Amino acid sequence: MRRNALQDGGRTLVHSIQPMIRSSLILTFALAAAAIGHAGSPLPDSAKVGQFYAGCQIYTFKSFDVLTALEKIAAAGGKTVEFFPGQMFSKEDPKLKFDQNSTPEQRSAVKAKVKELGLTPVGFGVVGGLGKDEASTRKVFEFCKDMDIGIVVAEPTETKEAYDIIEKLVKEFDIKMAIHNHPKKPLDRNYKYWDPEYVLSWVKDRDSRMGSCADIGHFVRSGIKPVDAIKILKGRIMDSHVKDLDAFGVRDAKDQVWGTGKSDLPAVLNLYAEQGFYGPLDVEWEKDWETSLPDVTKCLEWLKNFKPTTAAK
């Protein structure tokens, strides 16, 4: 009788535990699914152009409202988009920008267009002064989370306190922060983000999700060979603005179709592949603002046909 009682009690215990186990498994799977879907997730294969994840920095089409600009990126063959804080939301109201201050309704319209076009949001920037205070910095990260953007591209406030705030939010949101480099400014010696060594100094001892948005064209304008900068920043490159320019070491150098300028893009992409970095690569075309679509298309066609001769080591 005692044996039967124990058996009955055991069955009762098992039956009572089973729903708890099922609930726990459901919660585990739900959390895993949420982790897969968060902003720091790997990019899908649908975001590739050839062997790299690629599209445009929407600044390329800054003369257009955000929805039209997205259409142009897709028409050029781009698969990813990096949003720009100054992009106008509507031609009817040019002062209204699409950024971290946008309303839920405005964001929904952009999300719908991104989905319709099959684009993948990858970045938001360049955000100046990131980290100056936690409230404004958190607003940027919350916007990126809402838009399923995995990288904040910035030129942060240059203080330890600012980088502490950024690192805290990188960990909280699992969203990367990539320091962008503009060209060297001869009349402003306080500007140092042009120097890859300086960029590295800010992130090398911090969370591995903090690194560089390597702007290839701006390295060229600063008189830095892009491959030299990439070697310095190895393992910390999160994003790359790509330009092929008509002159080296000239601040006012102009865009050329990829593969025809002085940036030595084959060497750049081979080194990226060797380091295991396959994007996102962002076309950032900065001339012929209203008529650049054919040239942007040629850049992405060139990339589509490019085959790296090196592999990750």
User: Torsion over CA of 105, 111, 116 and 118, rounded to 10 degrees?
Assistant: 170
CB 169 within 8 A of CB 152: no
* Residue 203: pLDDT band with limits 50, 70, 90: very high
pTM for the structure as a whole? 0.86
Q: pLDDT at residue 128 above 70?
A: yes
pLDDT, one tens digit per residue, over 12-62 is 433 444 444 344 433 333 333 333 334 457 899 999 999 999 999 999 999
One of 2.40.50.100, 3.40.50.970, 3.40.190.100, 3.20.20.150 is the CATH number of 47-305, namely: 3.20.20.150
Q: State residue 69's pLDDT score.
A: 98
The separation between the first and the last C-alpha atoms of the chain, rounded to the nearest angstrom, is: 68
Q: State residue 17's pLDDT score.
A: 41
Q: Which residues contact 241 (CB under 8 A, 6 or more apart)?
A: 57, 180, 213, 214, 215, 216, 217, 218, 282, 284
Q: Take residue 169 and report the two structure tokens written for it.
A: 């939010």
Q: State residue 310's pLDDT score.
A: 79
With CA atoms as reference, report the closest residue to 61 among 83, 92, 94. 83
Q: Which residues pair with 240 in a beta bridge?
A: 214, 281
pLDDT, one tens digit per residue, over 134-161 is 999 999 999 999 999 999 999 999 999 9
Average pLDDT over residues 224-242: 98
CB 172 within 8 A of CB 134: no
